[in-house]
Amino acid sequence: MLSQKCKYAIRTILYLASKNEEGEKKDLKKISEALKIPTPYLGKILQELVPKKIISSIKGPNGGFFLTEQNLQLPVIKIIEAIDGLTLFEACGLGLHVCSDKHPCPIHNDFKVARDHLKNMFANKSIEELAKEINSKHFMLI
Amino acid sequence: MLSQKCKYAIRTILYLASKNEEGEKKDLKKISEALKIPTPYLGKILQELVPKKIISSIKGPNGGFFLTEQNLQLPVIKIIEAIDGLTLFEACGLGLHVCSDKHPCPIHNDFKVARDHLKNMFANKSIEELAKEINSKHFMLI
DNA sequence: AGAATTAAAGACCTTTTTATCTTTTATTTA
DNA sequence: TAAATAAAAGATAAAAAGGTCTTTAATTCT
Ligand code: FES
Ligand code: FES
């Protein structure tokens, strides 16, 4: 479904968002230990997200990764788009070269319903909204 | 979503099923050319499905791959189970070690709806039913 | 200024997935 | 029975995903 890379990214960002009281920064090691994600690999992933403006970072002592107000307003699908791209939400479930109503594979109609449901859920929820739900309800990140 | 291997397998089986007039056999090369799937790789995949009783085969001249009545009655999910396993329909969308209502990740509730929708569609439709729809409506396999 | 801290960058390694090629075995038909 | 056909089996290869390690650059604090 989502790649491992993408799932790590989402969990990290939701972790940062749900702890975002007072613009709190977290360094790589703290995040990777908290979420049980391999440290060097997570480093690679987060490095990729900074220039894409999905997350923010500051080097040096007391530096780390954090989310700005702008970062928090992004819908979750932007994380997926940055890492895996949007083909999951566009591609044919049986691997045909194109997916369209004019050229439907045998599972097209049902598949599209499930695929669109997934897409809408990721597109309609901002990182901040989801983080608030994590704090008010009892959702797990690990 | 589904692996390439699994998508190739499903398309091949639906192809065999939709041509299953008079227990027609198709040899590997014919299938791979009709569906534009790499021949040797498809051979490997079909080899795997024969002992698992998902498809049937006969060697020698006029041999090939085909579906018995029993094969045709299988739900499509059995193909997926044989190739990819069922983790797609059971695993957490964010990669948590377990997915359960007692230990939900932030997307659990919505994700489960989409995942179950997919699962039900594959579980509730037999290969034969789907093949009939291919023939009566105008669904594509390529 | 110098030491400490932390992200960035880049080279490397491992495993899994996808795909190819060659040889063997079973079956048919002439 | 011999030749032809087609799947089975197995060894190999290429590409992608997942993961590690080392060095460099930026920042802070003393
Ligand atoms: S054509 Fe296959 S899902 Fe749309
Ligand atoms: S716990 Fe994540 S989808 Fe169920």
Closest-CA distance, B22 to chain A, in angstroms, reads 22
Token pair 């608030």 is found at A132
Q: How many Cβ atoms are within 10 Å of A137's Cβ, its own excluded?
A: 10
* Mutational test site, ligand 2, from B108, B113, B117, B119, max ligand atoms within 8 Å of CB: B108
Supply the pLDDT for residue A137.
87
Provide the phi-psi class of A140: left if phi over 0, else alpha when psi is between -120 and 50, else beta.
beta
Q: CB-based burial of residue A12 (10 Å sphere; 0-12 exposed, 13-18 middle, 19+ buried)?
A: buried
Interface with chain B: mutation pick from A94, A113, A128, highest number of B CBs within 10 Å = A94
**Cβ-defined contact of A113 to B117 (cutoff 8 Å):** yes
Supply the pLDDT for residue B22.
62
Is the distance from the beta carbon of residue B93 to the nearest atom of ligand 2 less than 6 Å?
yes
d(CA A34, CA A44): 17
Supply the pLDDT for residue A71.
97
Digit-coded pLDDT (tens) for A81-127: 999 999 999 999 999 999 999 999 999 999 999 999 999 999 999 99
B66 touches chain A (CB under 8 A): no
d(CA B65, CA B75): 19
**Cβ-defined contact of A106 to B1 (cutoff 8 Å):** no
Contacts of B97 by beta carbon, 8 Å cutoff, 6+ apart: none
Where do the DSSP E strands lie in chain B?
56-58, 64-66
Digit-coded pLDDT (tens) for A14-66: 999 998 776 689 999 999 999 999 999 999 999 999 999 999 999 999 999 99
Q: Which of B72, B79, B66 is nearest to B122 (CA)?
A: B79
Q: How do the pLDDT tens digits run along chain B, 142 residues long?
A: 999 999 999 999 999 999 887 668 999 999 999 999 999 999 999 999 999 999 999 999 999 999 999 999 999 999 999 999 999 999 999 999 999 999 999 999 999 999 999 999 999 999 999 999 999 988 999 9
**Residue B83 is which amino acid?**
I
pTM of this structure: 0.95
DSSP character string of A16-49:
HHHT-GGG--B-HHHHHHHHT--HHHHHHHHHHH
| Cβ proximity of A21 and A55 under 8 Å | no
- What is the spatial distance, in angstroms and rounded to an integer, between the CA atom of A17 and the C1' atom of D27? 24
Contacts of B94 by beta carbon, 8 Å cutoff, 6+ apart: A2, A7, A10, A11, A141, B105, B106, B107
Report chain B residues whose CB lies below 8 A from the CB of A41: none
- What is the spatial distance, in angstroms and rounded to an integer, between the CA atom of A103 and the C1' atom of D6? 33
Nearest protein Cα to ligand 1, atom 2: A92
Strand B56-58 and strand B64-66: pairing?
A: antiparallel
Report chain B residues whose CB lies below 8 A from the CB of A5: none
Q: Which of B46, B66, B44 is nearest to B56 (CA)?
A: B66
**Cβ-defined contact of A139 to B108 (cutoff 8 Å):** yes
Strand A64-66 and strand B64-66: pairing?
A: unpaired
pLDDT at A9 over 80: yes
Supply the pLDDT for residue B87.
97
Supply the pLDDT for residue A22.
63
Q: How many Cβ atoms are within 10 Å of A30's Cβ, its own excluded?
A: 13
